[in-house]
Chain A
């Protein structure tokens, strides 16, 4: 066999091995949380808050963490979205093409994206101390929104950047201002991608433990106000896994299973909604 064929075969083999490795790791993770989690999974896990002695293996569920996670990640994504839309429109509509300011902002957002979430947690905690806020739903929402903001900005930015410039030009040519073009054409054209970006950010927000550790706190109750502490799924996993009781550890895996299913459902939802939103988009 000649050399080039051998090369081809070896490289192809390596690629297949790499793919198998990734799929295998994913499969093992899913299998582990499923096998261990399903033992502790029950209707009451989903519908009840922890009762007395829950962390010793008694009655209750993690409804507090499920609802708390939705509150924190939902609120944070909403807050970050409100900040990200103007940023993205500024970068793509108001900055000139090839603008240095835009390049600098993109670079800074990339740096922020790389900052570990524990740092955001510590930063958020310091800010909360400064304004006299205790660990609470509000603190958690605020900190997680800081954490997902760069993700949301850059994910949306990538989508909006793909819009052909002559689409904007055809709006300008009709005498539209930049703002009108941004709101009526750009956001509409990119709506499906923006939605995907939002759900990616939501997925990151709901799965992060370190940013809520000091800021949202933990509570066995479903928070009734923004100033009350809120439980979250990642911390539910963390605390239950730290107990010496196997049945409580199994509950941690059940919580992990719930979290994974939520993230999966989020991404499926984004695909489904995305297809509906592209109806009017220009291919």
Chain B
């Protein structure tokens, strides 16, 4: 196993009086694809969003426990939230391009972190768009609004935008659920390519997708982390009753 990258210790997340995520402890291996699986409403997305403190933006959200990224507790009062988020690219369920051109979408991240050199930005935009296989499709219309390209292209654009701030970790929240099968496959291919350099945490409710992609899997049920381990073992020999039932398709 690679170097552990993210270490979660006794994490609880509350939106109200009862925790939505209960006492989660897990160490996520680096440079692998980690699938977070489980039925809807089980806390998958909350778990993902607690990794880059996006969970705090929800109304009345409260977090206890620790999340260590590269050994640093991101919930400590001295942690700089923008630096933490820069480390992690987030891909949401529906692609949300920013209200600007294709070029500016990718350049947005580097710009907000202080890069204004046009030539460097050009390089970054081209490099990241190539990385997600979008360059050939959009190179002649970089100035066009990002909302004009297809939704599958938008999702890859969002991935390129996230990569442009040079994260170490990619968090993806059901990134293919709004896409057609072809576009989904292209996103999956991107992930398989990217895992050489990045740690990828992907929330998915599609079991087959998890089987295709994951090196490691974590199963959530009713706000608890039931079981986690290498993907092969999780899918072939789960030990907990809920995991067995979920993997067999009895509960979903």
B59 at the interface (CB under 8 A from A): yes
Q: Enumerate chain A residues within 8 angstroms of B109, measured Cβ to Cβ.
A: 174-175
B222 shortest CB reach to chain A, Å: 25
CB of A82 to closest CB in B, whole Å: 23
Given contacts A184-B108, A184-B112, contact A173 B85 (CB under 8 A): yes
Cα A165 to Cα B235 in complex, Å, equals 36
Binary B-proximity of A160-188 (CB < 8 A = 1, otherwise 0): 00001111011111111100100011001
Partner of B92, one of A98, A169, A176, A282: A169
A119, B153: Cα distance in complex, Å: 55
- Which residues of chain A from 127 to 186 have a CB within 8 Å of any chain B CB? 164-167, 169-177, 180, 184-185
Interface residue A280 (Cβ < 8 Å from any Cβ of B): yes
Given the known interface contacts A172-B85, A175-B85, the answer about A98 and B54 at a Cβ–Cβ threshold of 8 Å is no
Residues facing A in B1-55 (CB within 8 A) are 52, 54
Chain B, residues 79-101, CB within 8 Å of chain A (1/0): the string is 00011111011101010111111
Q: Which residue of A lies closest to B87 (CB)?
A: A175
Q: Does B182 contact A (CB under 8 A)?
A: no
- Looking at B69-77, B116-124, B127-135, B158-166, the stretch in contact with chain A turns out to be B158-166
Q: Does A227 contact B (CB under 8 A)?
A: no
A108 to B147, CA, bound (A): 37
| B99–A188 CB distance below 8 A | yes
Let me know if A283 is at the binding interface, CB within 8 A: yes
Question: In the bound complex, do residue A97 and residue B59 qualify as a contact, i.e. CB atoms below 8 Å apart?
Answer: yes
The answer to whether A173 and B162 touch (CB under 8 A), given A97-B58, A279-B145, A283-B147, is yes
Question: Are B57 and A172 in touch, CB under 8 angstroms?
Answer: yes
Q: Could you say which residues of chain A place their CB within 8 Å of the CB of B83? A: 175
Residue of B nearest to A178 (CB): B82
Known contacts A167-B98, A174-B108; is A280 also within 8 Å of B145 by CB? yes
The number of chain B residues touching the other chain, given as a range, is 20 to 34
A232 within 8 A of B: no
A159 to chain B: closest CB distance in Å?
13
Question: How far, in whole Å, are A84 and B109 apart by their CA atoms in the complex?
Answer: 28
Interface residues of A in 227-248 (CB under 8 A from B): none
A67 to nearest B CB, angstroms? 37
Interface residue from B54, B59, B112, B147 paired with A282 (Cβ < 8 Å): B147
By a CB distance below 8 angstroms, the chain B residues around A172 are 54, 57, 85
Is A281 an interface position by the 8 A CB rule? yes
Bound-state Cα–Cα, A184 to B113, Å: 13
Across chains A and B, the number of contacting residue pairs, with CB separation under 8 Å, is 87
**Measured CA separation A178–B162 after assembly (Å):** 18
Is B249 on the interface with A (CB-CB < 8 A)?
no
Point out the residue from B59, B94, B113 that lies within 8 Å of A166, measured CB to CB.
B94
- Contact A175/B86 with A97-B58, A166-B94 known, Cβ cut-off 8 Å: yes
Q: Which residues of B contact A92 (CB under 8 A)?
A: none
Q: Complex Cα distance A283/B92, Å?
A: 17
Q: Which residues of A contact B54 (CB under 8 A)?
A: 169, 172-173
- Given contacts A176-B112, A279-B145, is CB(A171)–CB(B165) below 8 Å? no
Q: What is the minimal beta-carbon distance from A173 to any residue of chain B, in angstroms? A: 4
B153 CB to nearest A CB, Å: 14
* Set of chain B residues within 8 Å of A174, measured between Cβ atoms: 85-86, 89, 108-109, 112, 161-162, 165
Contacts of A96 in B (CB 8 A): 59
Contacting A280 at CB < 8 Å: which of B52, B96, B100, B113?
B100
Is A117 positioned at the interface, with any CB of B under 8 Å from its CB?
no
0 or 1 for each of A244-283: is its CB under 8 Å from B? (1 = yes) = 0000000000000000000000000000000000011111
Closest to B158 in A: A170
- Where the two chains meet, the residues of B that have a C-beta atom closer than 8 Å to any C-beta of A are 52, 54, 57-60, 82-86, 88-90, 92, 94, 96-101, 108-109, 112-113, 145-147, 158, 161-162, 165
Give the top 7 A-B pairs by smallest Cβ distance, nearest first: A175-B86, A173-B90, A189-B99, A174-B109, A98-B59, A175-B82, A175-B85
**Which A residues are within 8 Å of any B CB, using their own CB?**
96-98, 164-167, 169-177, 180, 184-185, 188-189, 279-283
> Can you spell out 18 A-B residue pairs with CB atoms less than 8 angstroms apart?
A98-B59, A166-B92, A172-B85, A173-B52, A173-B85, A173-B88, A173-B90, A173-B162, A174-B109, A175-B113, A185-B99, A188-B100, A280-B147, A282-B96, A282-B97, A282-B98, A282-B99, A283-B147
Supply 17 further A-B pairs (C-beta < 8 A) apart from A177-B112, A185-B98, A280-B147.
A167-B98, A170-B96, A170-B158, A170-B161, A172-B54, A172-B85, A173-B52, A173-B85, A173-B88, A173-B89, A174-B162, A175-B113, A188-B99, A189-B99, A281-B145, A282-B97, A282-B147
